[in-house]
Structure 1
Amino acid sequence: MHIRRTTVVLIVGPVVLVAGAAWMQWLAFGLPSIPMSPTSPTSVPQGFPAWLRVAHYVNLLFIVLLIRSGVQILMDHPRLYWNVHCTPGTEWLRLTPVVVPMDRVWTAKDDARYLTPWIGLPGRRHTVGMARHWDFLSVLVWLVNGAVYCALLFGAGQWLRIVPATWRIVPEAWAYFVRYATFHMPPEPDAFYRYNPLQQLTYFTVIFILGPFAIVTGPSMSPALTNRFEWYPKLPGNRWNVHINVGTMPGRLRGGAG
């Protein structure tokens, strides 16, 4: 595997800066105080209904299938680019030791890598066709499950747990982040009834920002759609690069989001 140093700096740098700021605040001023009054409304539902739990299990199952089939598709051309021309040698991430030779014809089949069926779906080498079928089938069920989840979320009032009601949540979320980053568990007196501000912001971002963005960037990889709507694939960065990073993030971050 090869990754460009500039990309490492761009990805790791902000994380280090934010975590460093949290540590500096703790060392200089101590732990920030945790507000006693809840940011979310006091009328939030109690507990987690059965439909919400089932939706999470279905989401987990098909997120795993999407990640496995997506990784299999990626292994047919195991390189990610920030640009749109994908010229050999300009990739920021290369998941293969093979460097594209310049003295002979090199096709996508030559670039394909073997992936064990324990990880990829369906696994093995150059099975991108079946991997796409798995990806399309899984995403349809994932979309239906997400639509049902959102409908019930607002219909049953569970959205009160997730949607921020005031901008006060931002400094309060930072206070919780400082405690987590410095390995100090914050007090959770009513965790069964409401999320803390940092959890609430995270779940809101995953469900209502990253999820829809993954859906929007998915069709940009369809040749039929992009040939018909030439403006569609002109998204920030390379369309495959954006989709695979954003598309897998809900599964990585969401965890037990309700």
Structure 2
Amino acid sequence: MAAPSGQIATPVADRAAAPSAPAPAARAPASTEPPRAPLTVPQTVWAGRAAYHRPPRKPEPQKLGPFTKAQWAGAVIIGGGGLLFAAALAVVFVRAFLSLDVMQDFLVTYPGEYHLPEGAPVGFPAWLGWQHFFNVFLMVLIIRSGLTIRTEKRPSVFWTPKNNPKGKTSLTIWFHQSLDILWLVNGVVFLALLFVTGQWMRIVPTSWDVIPNALSAALQYVSLDWPTENGWVNYNSLQQLAYFSTVFIAAPLAAITGYRMSGLWPKKNARLSAAYPIDWARKVHFPVMLFFVVFIFIHVALVLATGALRNLNHMYAAQGSVDGVAYADNWTGFWMFFASLVVIAAAWVAARPLVLAPIARLFGNVSGR
């Protein structure tokens, strides 16, 4: 059909496709509430300062690791109290256990130590005291530098070998690895003298009786009725196992894992690196360091608690007795021990870039960031 005059014909499809005009938005209904009436009495309450001025937000408490200082203090107090309570229960239980007839017979059969082989040396030679000092000196600095490496995110001083410009590393890592080398040299000398002089028989078990005797010594320690010992002649079996584990198990593990993580490892040998992944070394190296820390703490505590003057004279002054009765209880060993602590403390304070950099320059180049 033709469109009326004045109109343009539009196809049906076009009309269908054309969008429809949007419907006007609905108006919100007007409020029907009357305006608020003015107050009929004078205003007596006014908005205070808080309505216009907000106090600044308190800063977040500083955290040391996962906890704040207050949380750490609470954890130490609660944890320490719990440990003391558990220790008291252990002492009561073990003392009751050892009072049984069967355990009394066990203590008579296994008093905590067994006789050493014929020809075992008696006493401590002077070289053992010096080796002991060097070992403690190096171990303390190794632990200090190792913990610094774990917490040092952006080193400020670096060391580079003279013959290998690509071997750049932080000064802390250089210091740690240098101490490791000195510690290994000291350990090799110690082992050589240990076997040459026969002192190895004091720390290497030579009888299966070491196991029940070590158990006996441990029970006596826990009961606070400590075993009678004469370290100048013979260690008890628990001491012997502890020293053996430290010298022949923990120390080699520390050396092997430390070498894998050091710059001395042949990184270009892909087959060797795949056979001994660095992640394995890292997972073992840190627990071994914790073992040394725990061993040093317990060792020093027992040395001071089981006759400090006598024990310090044995190790530092090489003074003791052959008959096991007349001990040297003078103050010589104590003052030598005190002097060694002063030297270790001075080295701890001096182990910083200002002092280490001139020494490191003798073996390489030192640079800043």
TM-score, reference length from structure 1 = 0.65
Matched residues in 2 for 1:62 and 1:161: separation? Answer: 23
Which secondary structure does the structure 2 equivalent of 1:43 belong to?
coil
- CA 1:156/1:23 → structure 2, altered by over 3 Å: closer, same or farther? farther
- What is the CA-CA distance between 1:185 and the residue it aligns to? 1.2
CA contact (8 A) 1:176 1:186 kept: yes
Aligned to 2:211: 170
User: Which residue in the other structure is 2:228 paired with?
Assistant: 187
Contact 1:44–1:194 (8 Å) recurs in 2:
no
Equivalent in the alignment of 1:245: 287
Q: CA deviation at 1:199?
A: 0.5
Opposite residue 183 of structure 1, the aligned amino acid is: L
How far apart are residue 65 of structure 1 and its match?
A: 1.1
Counterparts of 2:98 and 2:292, CA distance in 1: 34
Task: Report how far residue 251 of structure 1 moved.
Answer: 5.4
Give the C-alpha shift of residue 239 in structure 1. Answer: 2.9
Structure 1: segments with no counterpart, 5+ residues: 4-16, 77-107, 113-127
Whether the 8 Å CA contact 1:44–1:160 is kept in 2: the answer is: yes
Q: Percent identity?
A: 33
Q: Cα distance, 1:232 vs. partner?
A: 1.0
1:218 aligns with 2:294: no
Shift of 1:25: 4.8
Shift of 1:132: 0.6
Q: Relative to structure 1, is the Cα distance of residues 240 and 26 closer, same or farther in structure 2, using a 3 angstrom cutoff?
A: same
Structure 2 partner of 1:233: 277
Of 23-32 and 174-183, the range deviating more from structure 2: 23-32
Deviation at 1:38, TM superposition (A): 2.5
Distance 2:138 2:132 in 1: 10
Which of structures 1 and 2 has the bigger CA Rg?
A: 2
Backbone CA RMSD of aligned residues: 3.3
Q: How many angstroms apart in 2 are the aligned matches of 1:246 and 1:137? A: 19
Residues 120 and 201 in structure 2, CA contact (< 8 A), matched pair in contact too: yes
Unaligned runs of 5+ in 2: 1-64, 68-85, 156-168, 304-314, 316-369
Amino acid at match of 2:291: M
Which string of whole-angstrom CA distances, capped at 9 and with x for unpartnered residues, describes residues 38-81 of structure 1?
242253211110111100100011111101110110102xxxxx
Give the drift of 1:184: 1.5
Question: What SS does the aligned partner of 2:275 have?
Answer: coil
Whole-angstrom CA distance in 1 between matches of 2:278 and 2:91: 37
**Do the aligned partners of 2:90 and 2:222 also contact (CA within 8 Å) in 1?**
no
Structure 1 stretch displaced more, 146-155 or 24-33: 24-33
> Which aligned pairs between 1:24-39 and structure 2 lie closer than 5 A?
24-30=93-99, 32=104, 33-34=107-108, 35=110, 38-39=114-115
C-alpha deviation, 1:186, in angstroms: 1.2
- Using a 3 Å threshold, how does the CA distance of structure 1 residues 48 and 25 change in structure 2: closer, same or farther? same
TM-score in terms of structure 2 length: 0.47
Residue 74 in 1 paired to residue 150 in 2?
A: yes
> Which digits, 9 at most, give the CA deviation of each residue in 1:158-183, with x for residues without a partner?
01101101111101100110111122
Q: CA deviation at 1:222?
A: 3.8
Task: Return closer, same or farther for 1:227/1:253 CA change in 2, 3 Å cut-off.
Answer: farther
Aligned residue number for residue 123 of structure 1: none
**Which residue is equivalent to 1:143?**
184
- Establish whether residue 45 from structure 1 lines up as the match of residue 114 from structure 2: no
Counterpart Cα distance in 2 of 1:183 and 1:208: 29
Is the Cα–Cα contact under 8 Å of residues 44 and 193 in structure 1 kept in the other structure? no
- The CA distance in 2 between the partners of 1:50 and 1:185, in whole Å, is 28
CA separation in 2, counterparts of 1:166 and 1:20?
33
Counterpart residue identity of residue 184, structure 1:
D
Out of 239, 245, 254, the position equivalent to 1:199 is 239
| C-alpha distance in structure 2 between counterparts of 1:174 and 1:72, whole Å | 38
How many correspondences in the alignment? Answer: 196
